[in-house]
């Protein structure tokens, strides 16, 4: 088993009687991209702040890279792009990334070469001398991303990194996440854009009311939830009864020519088709219905869990 | 993945190695996780704080206001000297000029105090509220060093301001009349200490409260000290012990006015001392012990700010 980058057990944070995080218990493996999802007010940002040492937990314990969170040596090995990031907007992009590099302990010699490359990587080469106050939100996000990876972090925390970004910017973030993971870094991603998470992460955790209510390998839930929709003609009750004899198959709905089945996996589709054809059913189409991360999220959280 | 992204992560690529040997050495050591060190953190934060004041034009607007202040004083002093009849004895002439210099120094000390409170009240509370501090405090730095660095940056700015406005006042007085107040350097030091005192209190408040609240708290304490100073002086003049005690208590709560009164005592012409109570002079002279107390107070306020910032959730 890979080493644990994040190991949190029973983390709780109360503000008076109000629980921001009730019981955060999760483990993140070294080198994986981990999605951290939940509705508004679920305690995601507070959880991230606790893992970064910005907020002290009321109780519980958490280790980051094997050390207690907040440890200074550990902070030298992490990068962080805050959700509502604000920077010194009177600095230029180049000055800001250099400033954060220096705060990481990087020497000026290194920063002289690294900063222009980072800004080139995030698409701000031509803007590096302009003050940040003249930047759009998307450009600010790109500068934020550059400062987060200036120290080649072992763990990269990204809190809503794609908010405010156009499609090209979102693609850039996905690329950076993939590159960081390929380099061996662990990426901890909090985002409301589930499509982005689905494309970027290896595992996801769902958090609700400050507790982890589900954790999945990306796509692994398809085994449990694969559904298939068929457009059929003349599906008799005997055909359906025969279909039900195949192990693991359940008829979810039948309406006019539409037949919806739950199947163990996509490998069982040829057997289903054969069974129906042998029963005299005419098949016009067979479409596996993949359960998206968003579907899974809504099933776990309910249709409107945030309010 | 594009090439530039790959290059970006290479521990020490060929270009960097060729460019400078020291760069590659530094690169090698950079792989060892470490922070910038306490001193470097303080210097970084001090520089960024000072530059912020300059880039946000606070420094230049303050300098402009200071220049207008000095210009007005210069014009007034010049006119006053020219209007003096030639038969005025030199002693009276010097006393008149000294009194005017002192009044202007008092106004300058008020401006410095306001500047200390108003420029620093937003520095921590604003960054906490906006989230600016999040990306900074997660770096391998001690939170106490962040506070100390900002404090050093403001002290540097205030020192320049005191030198410009108060030093300029003294210089103009000397240029126009060859009148140099006694203990000028000590006076400048006391006025700077007054500003540093208010700076520490404002920063400590801004770790917990909003910028407006922090500024209001500091200026409230400044006002309390001002009124306390008057009560103490009236008490001394009329021999009312309760008033003197109240004034001393006010000075212990906030010794800013005591510092000005000590400075005023150092430079005041005899005519002002004889005139009795005025905001520009001192009849009840705060002791050296009070100055020491104020210095300890200023240091304690800084340490308190560091502790509060260290302990709070961000």
pLDDT tens-digit profile of B26-41?
444 444 456 778 899 9
Q: For residues B289-301, give the mean pLDDT.
A: 96
Q: What are the strands of the beta sheet with A155-159, ordered from one edge?
A: A67-68, A59-64, A4-15, A18-29, A211-217, A203-208, A33-37, A186-190, A155-159, A78-81
Measured CA angle at A253 (ends A214, A221), to 5 deg: 20
What is the per-residue pLDDT for B8? 31
Q: Is the pLDDT of residue A255 over 70?
A: yes
Q: Beta strand pairing status for A155-159 and A59-64?
A: unpaired
Report whether A8 contacts A51 (CB < 8 A).
yes
Q: Is the pLDDT of residue A239 over 50?
A: yes
The pair of three-digit structure tokens given for residue A218, joined into one six-digit string: 């990306």
Across chain B, mean pLDDT equals 85
What is the per-residue pLDDT for B11? 34
Would the CB atoms of A90 and B15 count as touching at under 8 Å? no
Maximum pairwise Cα distance, chain B: 89
User: pLDDT by residue (tens digit) across A163-202?
Assistant: 878 888 889 999 999 999 999 999 999 988 888 888 889 9
What is the per-residue pLDDT for B113? 95
CA A10, CA A136: separation in Å to the nearest integer? 40
Across chain A, mean pLDDT equals 88
Would the CB atoms of B138 and A78 count as touching at under 8 Å? yes
User: pLDDT by residue (tens digit) across A7-41?
Assistant: 999 999 999 989 999 999 999 999 999 999 988 88
CA distances from A128 to A97, A113, A125, A219, B56 (A): 10, 13, 6, 40, 19
Q: Which of A103, A219, A262 is nearest to B138 (CA)?
A: A103
| Residue that the structure tokens 């005192």 belong to | B197
User: pLDDT by residue (tens digit) across B149-174?
Assistant: 999 999 999 999 999 999 999 999 99
User: Taking CA atoms, what residue in A is nearest to B17?
Assistant: A110
How much of chain B exceeds pLDDT 90, in percent? 61
Would the CB atoms of A112 and B23 count as touching at under 8 Å? yes
What ipTM goes with this model?
0.81
Count A/B contacts: CB-CB distance under 8 Å: 135
Q: Which residues of A touch B40 (CB under 8 A)?
A: 102, 105
CA A286, CA A305: separation in Å to the nearest integer? 33
CA B197, CA B301: separation in Å to the nearest integer? 8
Report whether B125 contacts B211 (CB < 8 A).
yes
The pair of three-digit structure tokens given for residue A76, joined into one six-digit string: 């030298």
Name which of B4, B135, B142 is nearest A87 (Cβ-Cβ): B135
Burial of B63 from C-beta contacts in 10 A (0-12 / 13-18 / 19+): middle
Q: Is B39 on the interface with A (CB under 8 A)?
A: no
Q: Which residues of A touch B26 (CB under 8 A)?
A: 107, 109-110
> Cα distance from B271 to chain A (closest Cα, Å)?
50
Query: C-alpha B121: how far from its chain's center?
Result: 12
Report whether A148 contacts A177 (CB < 8 A).
no
How much of chain B exceeds pLDDT 70, in percent? 84
The CA radius of gyration of chain A, in Å to the nearest whole number, is: 24
Q: Is the pLDDT of residue A80 over 70?
A: yes
pLDDT confidence band for A304 (50 / 70 / 90) = low
CA A298, CA A305: separation in Å to the nearest integer? 8
The pair of three-digit structure tokens given for residue A53, joined into one six-digit string: 């040492």
What is the per-residue pLDDT for A246? 81
Would the CB atoms of A110 and B23 count as touching at under 8 Å? yes
Q: Which residues of B touch A168 (CB under 8 A)?
A: none
CA A257, CA A252: separation in Å to the nearest integer? 14
What is the per-residue pLDDT for B180? 86
Q: Is B68 on the interface with A (CB under 8 A)?
A: no
Q: For residues A68-77, give the mean pLDDT.
A: 91
């Amino acid at each position: 088993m890979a080493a644990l980058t994040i190991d949190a057990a029973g983390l709780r944070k109360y503000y008076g009687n109000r629980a921001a995080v009730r019981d955060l218990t999760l483990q993140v493996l070294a080198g994986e991209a981990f999605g951290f999802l939940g509705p508004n007010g679920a305690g995601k940002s507070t959880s991230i702040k606790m893992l970064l040492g910005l907020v002290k937990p009321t109780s519980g314990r958490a280790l980051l890279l094997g050390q207690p969170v907040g440890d200074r040596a550990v902070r030298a090995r992490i990068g962080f792009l805050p959700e509502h990031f604000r920077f010194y907007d009177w600095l230029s992009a180049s000055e800001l990334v250099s400033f954060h590099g220096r705060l990481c302990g990087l020497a000026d010699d290194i920063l002289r070469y690294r900063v222009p490359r980072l800004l080139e990587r995030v698409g701000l080469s031509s803007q590096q001398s302009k003050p940040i106050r003249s930047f759009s939100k998307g450009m600010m996000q790109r500068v934020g991303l550059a400062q987060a990876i200036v120290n080649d972090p072992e763990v990269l925390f990204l809190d809503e990194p794609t908010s405010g970004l156009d499609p090209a910017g979102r693609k850039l973030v996905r690329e950076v996440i993939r590159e960081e993971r390929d380099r061996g870094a662990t990426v901890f991603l909090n985002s409301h854009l589930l499509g982005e998470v689905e494309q970027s992460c290896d595992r996801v955790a769902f958090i609700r009311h400050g507790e982890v209510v589900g954790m999945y390998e990306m796509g692994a839930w398809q085994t449990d939830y694969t559904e298939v929709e068929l457009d059929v003609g003349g599906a008799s009750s005997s055909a359906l009864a025969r279909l039900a004899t195949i192990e693991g198959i359940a008829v979810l709905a039948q309406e006019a020519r539409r037949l919806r089945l739950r199947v163990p996996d996509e490998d069982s589709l040829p057997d289903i088709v054969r069974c129906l054809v042998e029963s005299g059913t005419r098949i016009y189409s067979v479409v596996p219905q993949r359960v998206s991360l968003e579907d899974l999220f809504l099933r776990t959280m309910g249709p409107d869990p945030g309010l | 993945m594009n090439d530039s992204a790959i290059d970006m992560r290479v521990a020490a690529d060929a270009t960097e190695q060729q460019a400078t040997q020291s760069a590659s050495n530094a690169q090698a050591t950079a792989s060892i996780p470490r922070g910038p060190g306490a001193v470097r953190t303080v210097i970084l934060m001090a520089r960024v704080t000072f530059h912020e004041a300059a880039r946000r034009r606070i420094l230049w607007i303050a300098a402009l206001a200071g220049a207008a202040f000095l210009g007005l004083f210069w014009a007034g002093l010049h006119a006053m000297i020219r209007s003096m009849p030639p038969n005025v004895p030199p002693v009276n002439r010097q006393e008149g000029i000294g009194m005017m210099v002192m009044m202007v120094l008092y106004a300058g000390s008020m401006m410095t105090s306001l500047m200390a409170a108003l420029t620093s009240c937003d520095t921590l509370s604003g960054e906490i509220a906006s989230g600016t501090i999040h990306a900074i405090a997660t770096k391998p730095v001690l939170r106490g060093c962040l506070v100390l660095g900002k404090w050093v940056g403001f002290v540097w700015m205030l020192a320049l301001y005191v030198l410009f406005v108060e030093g300029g006042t003294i210089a103009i007085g000397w240029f126009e009349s060859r009148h140099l107040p006694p203990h000028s350097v000590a006076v400048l030091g006391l006025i700077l200490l007054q500003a540093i005192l208010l700076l520490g209190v404002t920063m400590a408040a801004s770790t917990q409260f909003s910028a407006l609240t922090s500024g209001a708290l500091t200026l409230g304490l400044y006002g309390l000290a001002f009124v306390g100073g008057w009560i103490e002086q009236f008490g001394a003049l009329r021999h009312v012990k309760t008033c003197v005690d109240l004034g001393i208590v006010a000075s212990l709560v906030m010794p800013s006015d005591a510092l000005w009164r000590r400075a005023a005592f150092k430079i005041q012409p005899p005519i002002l001392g004889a005139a009795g109570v005025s905001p520009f002079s001192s009849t009840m002279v705060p002791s050296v012990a009070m100055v020491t107390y104020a210095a300890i107070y200023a240091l304690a306020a800084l340490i308190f700010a560091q502790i509060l910032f260290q302990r709070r959730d961000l």
